[in-house]
């Protein structure tokens, strides 16, 4: 259940007036987000609503046409069409991302995948990083897979490696982009359980998901998006049980009653 | 036709020696330098800067659009008239590495493009710069994809080095030409030379297989 009241948490990340168009199509029309420290925010909405784009703007993978993203105590990154990946790099020192398709490095073993960032980017000591990686892998039940290659693992195992790879960077914010959408149904539970544990431990996270029951379980705040705008936001019980907006009502109804 | 076994016995070693002292070092040096040129050209062609990309395009177009023999002649016989006189070795290495550079650039570019975009993104999200992502994640994966086509380039190169005989470079085929002219046994000596090239290329092919197997350990079957 909710462990932090979004209203009272110290803000960790603030995104203001994010805008993004792909060609003629405006996918984001002025999005504002405020994520408190230790808070879990779930972005939901129909496909094409812009929720994944919002997530990708938060670490500059997608460069918004306008708007600003700033971490608590860090410089604000003001976006414009010419903003480079390099300028967005400052955001990535504070966050880590878990992808829908895992995006593990296929030419590296599980352990190498996990220690790559801490070694190559953060320049930390190898012994220390390896020890941490091993304990994180053990935590998600993959200790004995450390020397295997990603293709030797199931999707659920690969995604847990993806989560460990993100955790090994010790970010202040975890971004999840539909982390279970590519998984076979029977593998979804293992991954959700790990995410739930992280939420309970107080990690701050933004989660794009179609798993409404899961969002209700872990999120402190739900943001419902449609056609590039935030339609409704609030406590999960309110947004999912008694949505105020007609579009939210329809979406929630459709997901909960697919037939 | 009587086969002149004695000539075969006497000429085999000089021909092989021509290969070992000429063909092979020339191929290895040109391929190594050529790959470096190709990598630079591939990255330039992929650059978003239109001028940089244009330079690479122009280079590739000229190399692929003109005969290798003409390129060799321009460097060896042409440059002296503007005051640059090079001996056969440097001339051959320059011509062949520039040639490999043009062809392999397209192979490497395609290999880089074949790595899924998600790999770049994963690199960025763990905080890597473009250069680090390229070096640590993209090129190692592109290398695997480019082994078969680059092996083709290398095998072609080994055979193309026979053209160097025309700029007085002593290699396998020039040795064979000398022996053939001296003995007048053209058929025999040239077939012998062809077989030696073939053996060299068989060795290279087995090297390719071994390299592919090494890369395959991280690929699902």
For chain B, say whether A105 makes contact (Cβ under 8 Å): yes
Contacts of A150 in chain B (CB under 8 A): 218
Beta-sheet pairing, A66-71 with A11-22 = antiparallel
pLDDT of residue A87: 87
Residue in chain A lying closest to B221 (CA): A151
Residue A30 has pLDDT above 60, yes or no: yes
What mean pLDDT is reported for chain B? 94
What mean pLDDT is reported for chain A? 92
Cβ–Cβ under 8 Å, residues B44 and B60: no
Report in angstroms the alpha-carbon separations of A21 from A59, A62, A190, B62, B158.
Answer: 17, 11, 36, 40, 52
ipTM for this model: 0.92
Question: For residue range A200-253, what is the model confidence (pLDDT) as tens digits?
Answer: 999 999 999 998 999 999 999 999 999 999 999 999 999 999 999 999 999 988
Dihedral pair phi/psi, residue A153, rounded to 5°: -105, 160
Residue of higher predicted confidence among A1 and A195: A195
User: What's the rounded mean pLDDT across residues A149-159?
Assistant: 95
CA distance, residue B44 to nearest chain A CA (Å): 18
Cβ–Cβ under 8 Å, residues A228 and A222: no
8 Å CB contact of A105 and B129: no
pLDDT of residue B18: 92
CA distance, residue A245 to nearest chain B CA (Å): 35
Of B126, B136, B220, which is closest to A169 when you measure between CB atoms?
A: B126
8 Å CB contact of A99 and B217: no
Cβ–Cβ under 8 Å, residues B125 and A96: yes
8 Å CB contact of B129 and A86: yes
Global pTM reads 0.89
8 Å CB contact of B141 and A149: no
N- to C-terminal Cα distance for chain A?
Answer: 28
Q: How far apart are CA A3 and CA A200, in angstroms?
A: 7
8 Å CB contact of B127 and A104: no
Residue A3 has pLDDT above 60, yes or no: no
CA distance, residue A61 to nearest chain B CA (Å): 7
N- to C-terminal Cα distance for chain B?
Answer: 52
Dihedral pair phi/psi, residue A214, rounded to 5°: -70, -40
Dihedral pair phi/psi, residue A33, rounded to 5°: -140, 145
Q: How far apart are CA A135 and CA A154, in angstroms?
A: 20
Percent with pLDDT over 90 in chain A: 81
Residue linked to tokens 């993209």: B138
Residue B42 has pLDDT above 70, yes or no: yes
Q: A176 Cβ partners below 8 Å, 6+ apart?
A: A55, A97, A98, A195, A205, A206, A207, A208, A209
pLDDT of residue A8: 64
In terms of Cα–Cα distance, which of B55, B29, B28, B30 is closest to B40? B55
Would residue A154 be called left, alpha or beta, if left means φ above 0 and alpha means ψ between -120 and 50 degrees?
A: beta
Residue A5 has pLDDT above 80, yes or no: no
Question: For residue range B137-181, what is the model confidence (pLDDT) as tens digits?
Answer: 999 999 999 999 999 999 999 999 999 999 999 999 999 999 999
Residue A162 has pLDDT above 90, yes or no: yes
Neighbour-count burial of B14, counting CB atoms closer than 10 A to its CB (0-12 exposed, 13-18 middle, 19+ buried): middle
pLDDT of residue A1: 43
For chain B, say whether A120 makes contact (Cβ under 8 Å): yes
| Three-point CA angle B68, B104, B150, nearest 5° | 110
């Amino acid at each position: 259940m909710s462990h932090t009241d979004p209203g009272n948490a110290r803000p960790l990340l603030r995104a203001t007036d994010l805008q993004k168009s792909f060609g003629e199509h405006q996918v984001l029309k002025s999005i504002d987000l405020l994520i408190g420290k230790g808070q879990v925010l779930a972005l939901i909405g129909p496909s094409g609503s812009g929720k994944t784009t919002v997530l990708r703007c938060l670490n500059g993978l997608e460069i918004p046409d306008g708007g600003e993203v700033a971490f608590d105590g860090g410089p604000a990154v003001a976006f414009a069409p010419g903003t480079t990946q390099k300028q967005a790099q400052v955001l990535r020192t504070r966050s880590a991302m878990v992808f829908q398709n895992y995006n593990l490095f296929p030419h590296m073993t599980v352990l190498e995948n996990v220690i790559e960032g801490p070694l190559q980017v953060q320049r930390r000591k190898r012994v220390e990083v390896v020890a941490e990686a091993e304990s994180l892998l053990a935590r998600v039940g993959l200790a004995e897979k450390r020397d295997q290659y990603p293709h030797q693992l199931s999707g659920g195992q690969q995604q847990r490696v993806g989560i460990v790879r993100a955790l090994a960077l010790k970010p202040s914010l975890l971004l999840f982009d539909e982390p279970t959408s590519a998984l076979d149904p029977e593998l979804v539970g293992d991954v959700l359980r790990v995410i739930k544990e992280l939420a309970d431990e107080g990690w701050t996270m933004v989660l794009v998901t179609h798993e409404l029951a899961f969002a209700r379980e872990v999120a402190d705040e739900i943001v419902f998006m449609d056609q590039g705008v935030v339609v409704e936001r609030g406590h999960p019980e309110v947004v999912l049980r008694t949505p105020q907006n007609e579009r939210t009502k329809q979406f929630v109804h459709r997901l909960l009653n697919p037939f | 036709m009587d086969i002149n076994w004695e000539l075969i016995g006497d000429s085999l070693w000089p021909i092989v020696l021509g290969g070992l002292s000429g063909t092979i070092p020339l191929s290895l040096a040109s391929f190594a330098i050529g790959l470096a040129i190709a990598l630079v050209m591939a990255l330039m062609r992929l650059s978003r800067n239109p001028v940089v990309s244009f330079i690479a395009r122009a280079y590739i177009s000229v190399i692929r659009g003109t005969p290798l023999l003409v390129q060799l002649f321009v460097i060896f016989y042409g440059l002296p008239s503007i005051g640059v006189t090079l001996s056969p070795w440097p001339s051959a290495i320059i011509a062949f590495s520039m040639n490999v550079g043009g062809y392999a650039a397209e192979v490497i570019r395609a290999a880089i493009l074949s790595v899924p975009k998600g790999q770049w993104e994963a690199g960025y999200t763990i905080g890597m710069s473009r250069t680090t992502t390229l070096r640590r994640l993209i090129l190692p994966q592109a290398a695997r994809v480019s082994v078969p086509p680059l092996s083709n380039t290398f095998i072609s190169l080994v055979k193309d080095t026979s053209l160097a005989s025309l700029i007085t470079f002593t290699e396998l085929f020039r040795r064979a030409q000398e022996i053939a002219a001296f003995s007048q046994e053209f058929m025999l000596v040239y077939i012998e030379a062809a077989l030696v090239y073939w053996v060299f290329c068989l060795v290279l092919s087995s090297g390719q297989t071994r390299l592919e197997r090494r890369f395959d350990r991280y690929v699902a079957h």
